[in-house]
């Protein structure tokens, strides 16, 4: 199905609805195409605009963590990697506080 046909059908049905919802119009005016077809409008909040800007900056930044990743893989593989439980717990609590909105 062609999306252009879907959009045209939607516009046509909206025009028909607006013509039938106005009983005070003359019969000739009902058959004429409406010139008051409104366009859809999207308004972004300041927060969503900031998020979009941050996403663009993140996509444009080049971070090379390959050396750090390889070192971590080796430490895990040879058993020398140590998990800092206090740091993990602290970050979990920090995340919970952020999610709770406090």
What are the pLDDT digits (tens) for 10-64? 667 667 666 665 555 444 445 555 567 778 887 778 888 899 999 999 888 888 8
- Please state, as a whole number, how many other Cβ atoms lie within 10 Å of the Cβ of residue 30: 14
Q: Is-above-0.85 flag for pTM?
A: no
Per-residue pLDDT, 33: 56
Per-residue pLDDT, 40: 86
Per-residue pLDDT, 91: 95
Per-residue pLDDT, 76: 95
- Taking phi first (over 0 means left), then psi (-120 to 50 degrees means alpha), and beta for anything else, what does residue 63 get? beta
In the numeric block, the tokens 């893989």 are attached to 73
- Please state, as a whole number, how many other Cβ atoms lie within 10 Å of the Cβ of residue 86: 8
What are the pLDDT digits (tens) for 67-92? 999 999 999 999 999 999 999 999 99
Per-residue pLDDT, 27: 47
């Amino acid at each position: 199905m062609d999306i252009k046909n879907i959009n045209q059908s939607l516009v046509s049905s909206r025009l028909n609805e607006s013509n039938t919802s106005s009983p005070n119009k003359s019969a000739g005016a009902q058959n004429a195409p409406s010139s008051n077809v409104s366009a859809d409008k999207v308004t972004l909040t300041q927060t969503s605009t900031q998020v979009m800007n941050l996403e663009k900056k993140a996509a444009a930044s080049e971070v090379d963590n390959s050396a750090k990743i390889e070192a971590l893989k080796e430490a895990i593989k040879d058993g020398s990697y140590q998990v800092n439980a206090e740091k993990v717990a602290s970050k979990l609590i920090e995340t919970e506080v952020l999610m709770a909105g406090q």
